[in-house]
Structure 1
Amino acid sequence: MARVPLYQQAETELLRRITSGEWPAGMRIGNEFELAEEFGVSQGTMRRALISVEAKGHLNRKPGRGTVVAEPEPAMPSAPPDLRRLFLPDATPLPLEPFRARLDLRDPVDAEREFFSGRVQALSRTLKSGGERIALEVILIDAGLVPAMDEDQPVEFLPLLHALDLPTATLEDRLHAEVTSMGDSVALACDRHTGLLCLTRIARDSAAKVLAVQILRMTEPASYRTLPA
């Protein structure tokens, strides 16, 4: 069996003392000379271990203060389980795939101002299901949180938020009905005044700030229900 390098052994012991609370946050630990002597390793070995533990966020090494155990970072809120789904009439999940996409950096308009006051990244997509154009989607994201993104994003809302590192704590869903405008009917290749099922999903962080909004308008008859937890 391969022997564990000394710096890794020292790193493991440093982490044990920190995570166990033996070295609480804010405690100033010995310098690398003192720790090297205590751990029975060379100064270079201890320096390497300290650099590694610092890079993992467990130590702060500051001139004049020495090495201090760092405050633990608050845990990122995990997104709620996405139990709400769209289904086809035969009770199978509604599959969606991107057909066309356009990304704009702009100010919110009309009803979007309920959610955002500043600039937003607006990802507009036409979605297909079974080879047919079935839905128009707009995803709005606070441009201050995601100053740059691209059009190639996951179709599912929560995976998209995760890919953009947006710490979603709650999701709110709103449903209503509309009919297509002339522009909508052209984009969806359907008759004018076709009925639309409209789903608005609002993602908020743990402080209830709106991070992103998905507006999905679908022509295909679909049911919307909650799955069992």
Structure 2
Amino acid sequence: MPRTPLYKAAETEMIRRIEAGDWPVGMRLGNEFQLAEEFGVSQGTMRRALMTLEAMGLLSRKPGRGTLVAAPAPVMTTGGGGAGGLVTPEGDAPQFEIHRAKALTRGADGDQAALFGSGRLSVSERVLKLGGVRAALDEIAVPEALAPALDEDAPVDLHDFLSAHGLSPVTLEDTLCASITTMGESVTLSCDRYTPLLVLTRVARGADGAVIGRQVLRVADPDLEYRPGG
């Protein structure tokens, strides 16, 4: 079994501490040398791990302030698809391929109920590939009253997905956070247990301000990052 890179092990443990509340929002971390010593890695390895968590929005690193645990901040965009989102190292939108998909209807769970209310939802659940490798888990939920059935082959971009179902999103609100794969997710994505995930939650609203769709995209590809619209 291949050995987990040291920087990846450090990333995973730091994310675990943030998720567990061991490192609460606002906590000031030690400097690179102190953290490298604590985690038993070189400063270069620790610097790489810190840069990754900063890109995920979990850490804030400012000259004179040090490294702080950051709170996920929503980014409001007002255009269509492409106003902001994931990009490759070359700055292009990733061309996801649908590996596996299923569409279903169900009642809203806790956080969905807070967003959509108590009505039933149409849900699309998909495993996405990038460059032939399983790279992300995608879940899109839409009120059943607006779309009784979802097309499993509709575009991954939420704006385009909703447009394909005759819906017209006016605003998109993105929230970023990070997580670690569960056992089931690691099996589905064919990756190591506790692989860091960049989680993009995108909420679309119609002209009246009502929520017409929500996407949760859980990305395991370490080369993708989020770029807000300008």
TM-score by length of 1: 0.62
Please provide the CA RMSD for this pair: 1.5
Deviations 1:103-147 (A, max 9, x none): 111011132222122100010000000000000010000001112
Q: Distance in 1 between matches of 2:174 and 2:127?
A: 20
Task: Between 108-117 and 85-94, report the one with greater CA deviation.
Answer: 85-94
How far off is 1:212 after superposition? 0.5
Q: Secondary structure at the match of 2:192?
A: coil
Q: Quote the Cα distance in structure 2 between the aligned partners of 1:227 and 1:110.
A: 30
Inter-partner Cα distance in structure 2 for 1:90 and 1:169: 28
Moved over 4 A (4+): none
Identity %: 40
**Using CA pairs below 8 Å that are at least 6 residues apart, which structure has the higher relative contact order?**
2
The equivalences for 1:75-224 within 5 A come to 80-81=79-80, 82-116=82-116, 117-221=118-222, 222-224=224-226
Preserved CA contact (<8 Å) 2:98 2:153: no
Tell me, in whole angstroms, the C-alpha distance in 2 between the residues paired with 1:149 and 1:217.
Answer: 20
Q: Which one has the largest radius of gyration? A: 1
CA–CA separation in structure 2 for the residues paired with 1:185 and 1:163:
31
User: What's the offset of the Cα at 1:89?
Assistant: 3.0
Amino acid at match of 1:89: P
Counting only pairs closer than 5 Å after superposition, residues 52-63 of structure 1 correspond to structure 2 as none
Aligned residues: 150
Matched with 1:57 is: none
CA distance in 1, matches of 2:220, 2:150: 28
| Mapped contact 2:103–2:122 kept (Cα < 8 A) | yes
SS in 1 for 2:111: helix
CA distance in 2, matches of 1:168, 1:180: 30
Secondary structure of the corresponding residue to residue 120 of structure 1: strand
Q: Counterpart of 1:104 in 2: which secondary structure?
A: strand
In structure 1, what is the Cα distance between the partners aligned to 2:229 and 2:169? 20
Q: Which runs of 5+ in 1 are unaligned?
A: 1-78
Q: Any idea what SS the aligned residue of 2:185 has?
A: helix
**2:208 counterpart letter in structure 1:** A
2:123 and 2:150 in contact (8 A); partners too: no
1:13-41 CA deviation, whole Å, 9 max, x = no partner? xxxxxxxxxxxxxxxxxxxxxxxxxxxxx
Separation in structure 1 between the aligned mates of residue 94 and residue 151 of structure 2, nearest angstrom: 25
Residue matched to 1:32: none
Deviates more, 1:113-122 or 1:172-181: 113-122
Q: TM-score when scaled to structure 2?
A: 0.62
